[in-house]
Amino acid sequence: MNELQPRYEITRKDLAKNKALKYGAWLVPALLAIVPALVFFILFLFSSATPTAFTFLFFSLISLVGGLLLGLIFTGGIFYYRSRWLADVRERLAVDGIKANEVEWFQHELTTTEKKSLKEIEAKDLLLADAFRDTLAARLTATRILKSSKHEILLVERRRNKLKYLKSENSANLQEELKTDREKLSKIKSDAEEMRVEAETRLQMIEAASRRGGSVADTELALKKLSARTAELPLALESAKMEDEFRKEFEKELDKREV
């Protein structure tokens, strides 16, 4: 049975692994292509016999091309593994809400405008940049919750439709429970949408404050409210998912009895 996952923190091991995968993907083709080719080329230069020299030159060219192709295959594999690993890390980080210092792990989920604005604000005012990053974290959290809650609502609706064909007292009770789940998820979805709009509005206000030379004091209270909701909504969604798991197990038991 699923349980609420504990708070996940990025470790030095994660940072080192991410850096190794990122740069290793580009180094592998170079190493596999250049090192063998260089060895054969050096042998070619120091070879006295002409046939042997040309043999080494031939192997140098072959190893250069072959190593490059093999390296590109390894690079593709490393990129694929890194993308899957990063997706898993992001899911763990987002369980109880994305924090400001974790925004860099969600760069691909930021819009071009948000990336540009963050860079500009960081160059002007570090305090406002922190506030902007906090609000970005809230926006990212809200967007993820919206997507997840929509998916969960769809699953609940499918199961409710399936239960309509089961004629039993238990199925009727389960229908009511699923209806309650649907209402909870709808509330979470509504709150997430409200939080997303609030965060996007706050981003614009911070950006405007940066342009006119304002301070972070104007946004501090709103940021505290956003931070609290950023922590609460993901946990509410996880709790709803846990209840949903109980429902699924109960439905399986019903299906077995019907058979």
What residue spans define the domains of the chain?
A: 1-95, 101-259
Assess whether pLDDT exceeds 90 at residue 188: no
Mean pLDDT of 24-40: 89
pLDDT of 8 reads 77
The burial class, CB within 10 Å (0-12 / 13-18 / 19+), for 154 is exposed
pLDDT of 18 reads 93
Assess whether pLDDT exceeds 90 at residue 79: yes
Q: Does the pTM exceed 0.85?
A: no
Assess whether pLDDT exceeds 60 at residue 86: yes
pLDDT of 6 reads 59
First vs last C-alpha separation in the chain: 24
Q: What percent of the chain has pLDDT over 70?
A: 76
98: left (phi over 0), alpha (psi -120 to 50) or beta: beta
pLDDT of 247 reads 53
Angle at Cα 105 formed by Cα 103 and Cα 111, nearest 5°? Answer: 65
pLDDT of 221 reads 45
Q: How confident is the model at residue 211 (pLDDT cuts 50, 70, 90)?
A: confident
